[in-house]
Amino acid sequence: MTAPPFTERPPATPRRSWSDWLPSTPALPTDPITPSDPGGPTRADRVIMHIDMDAFYASVELRRRPELLGRPMFVGGAERGVVLSANYEARAFGIEGGMPSSRARRLCPQAVAVPPDFDTYGEVSAGIVAAFESVTAHVESASIDEAYLDVTGSQRVFGSPRAIGEYLRALVADEQGITCSVGIGPSKFVAKIASGQAKPDGLVEVLPGDVTSFLHPLPVGKIWGVGEATADKLHRLGIMTVADLANTPAGTLRRAFGPHQGSLLSELAWGRDGRRVVARPGERGVGCQETFSRDTDDPAVVRAELLRVAGTVAWRMRQAGVLGRVVTLNLRFADFRTISRSLTLASPTDSTDELHAQALKLLGKLGLERPRIRRVGIRVEGLVDADKAYCQPTLDAPDRGWREAELAADAVRRKFGPNGVQRAVLTRHGYAPKRP
């Protein structure tokens, strides 16, 4: 028997992030898992990712307690309560989530118990979702530490699914200081199993034509919804692997498990899953954020980077045909503290200079004294269609000026690529051109 045709990647290396982009398609509607006709459409053209944080709570605690790295530890009550998360050193002793803390102590007396900090976990989770939304609008949070992404349309901007997955792994590591595992497949079900195969800190991609050869060697307990009781019943029927399940007549499964569950098991054994990624509700926005290669407290460097970020945001707004009136400045400091400040404009805009000026205004209001900054970002919300909005010109605005210059620059970018033109001030600060 040949090995399943999937690809594993080594741990990602943190690097400077790409920027946020505005998806142009609305959220996909939800579809339940429903049986499909054999040989019928299986949505194989879709590319779905399942991204799962590795030992999420424990990883967040290790980020701020580096002295515990390499030692068995778990998050939960020291004497009473349950284990919420355990690092991989503790898992080697048999400690796992949901286990009573007292039992974890017996299994590994030297394990360090850390009390949970749910506020911090929620903040980190929100940052991770924001990173995912920088690639696609189709992000469905399955829990605080995992999400499904539909990146079918993202390939036009960010490259192959594998490249997107590696980028997101690096972005999470760089922004949050924790690792995640990525599964890629043509359905949520396949992507979920692939991410489990990728753990810890890896990537597994299953191509549409390789679904059955990937699934069929696996034990039947890997099937979504197959718990201990269902697995025991399947074993009594002589069904040990997913291949055994796939080759069992659907009628036999329906008689044994009922019409719904029997049909569902038959469908999943062949990798058929019609569920769609359901994006969370929220207002559209255009954003860009960049992490410095080294933390900086140089005001000139920060101003220049904000100009480049503002230019990227403005470019994307013009390509999307929108204007915005709510400008948000986001700063992350060297100690990973993050702050955001917003203001509302009197008139919507898509001007680089206007966005840059407002970002500097927000920065000035903070009254910071040369803090070391790790990342800067600008996001524009309150979007309206550009052809339906009116921009109030100022009294001293020339008939033709920066807007015409930006439109001309846009034409150059469309013809020669995103690096075809940039402002001279950015070259003076040593910035290499980057894709918008």
Q: What are phi and psi of 341, to 5 degrees?
A: -135, 140
Query: How far is the C-alpha of 165 from the C-alpha of 169, rounded, in Å?
Result: 6
pLDDT of residue 36: 40
For residues 260 and 327, membership in a common domain is answered with: no
Which of 61, 146, 166, 175 does the annotation list as catalytic? 146
For residues 166 and 36, membership in a common domain is answered with: yes
For residues 271 and 419, membership in a common domain is answered with: no
For residues 74 and 181, membership in a common domain is answered with: no
Query: Has residue 3 been placed in a domain?
Result: yes
pLDDT of residue 218: 95
Give the 3-state DSSP-derived string for 319-358, with helices as H, strands as E and coil as C: HHCEEEEEEEEEEEECCCCEEEEEEEEEEEECCHHHHHHH
Query: Residue ranges of the chain with pLDDT lower than 70?
Result: 1-44, 78-80, 280-284, 388-436
pLDDT of residue 284: 67
Task: Compute the 3-state secondary structure of the chain and give helix, strand, coil in percent, each to the nearest 5.
Answer: 40, 20, 40
Residues at the binding site are 52, 145
Residues at the binding site for Mg(2+) are 52, 145
For residues 355 and 206, membership in a common domain is answered with: no
Query: How far is the C-alpha of 435 from the C-alpha of 274, rounded, in Å?
Result: 34
Query: Has residue 433 been placed in a domain?
Result: no
Total of domains in the chain: 3
Last residue in a domain, options 96, 117, 138? 117
Among residues 170, 169, 172, 173, which one has the least CA distance to residue 181? 169
pLDDT of residue 87: 94
| Boundaries of domain holding 314 | 286-428
- Supply the CATH number for residue 22's domain: 3.30.70.270
pLDDT of residue 122: 85
pLDDT of residue 29: 34
For residues 88 and 76, membership in a common domain is answered with: yes
Last residue in a domain, options 117, 132, 154? 117
Query: How far is the C-alpha of 209 from the C-alpha of 9, rounded, in Å?
Result: 20
Helix, strand or coil, per DSSP, at residue 378? strand
For residues 259 and 269, membership in a common domain is answered with: yes
For residues 136 and 21, membership in a common domain is answered with: yes
Strands 112-114 and 139-143: unpaired
Query: Has residue 402 been placed in a domain?
Result: yes
The CA-to-CA distance between both ends of the chain, in Å, stands at: 46
For residues 357 and 400, membership in a common domain is answered with: yes
- Supply the CATH number for residue 401's domain: 3.30.1490.100
Would you call 146 a catalytic residue per the annotation? Answer: yes
- What does the block give as tokens for 131? 């990173």
Contact between 83 and 76 under an 8 Å Cβ cutoff? The reply is: yes
pLDDT of residue 405: 66
Question: Taking the mean position of all CA atoms in its chain, how far away is CA 238?
Answer: 40
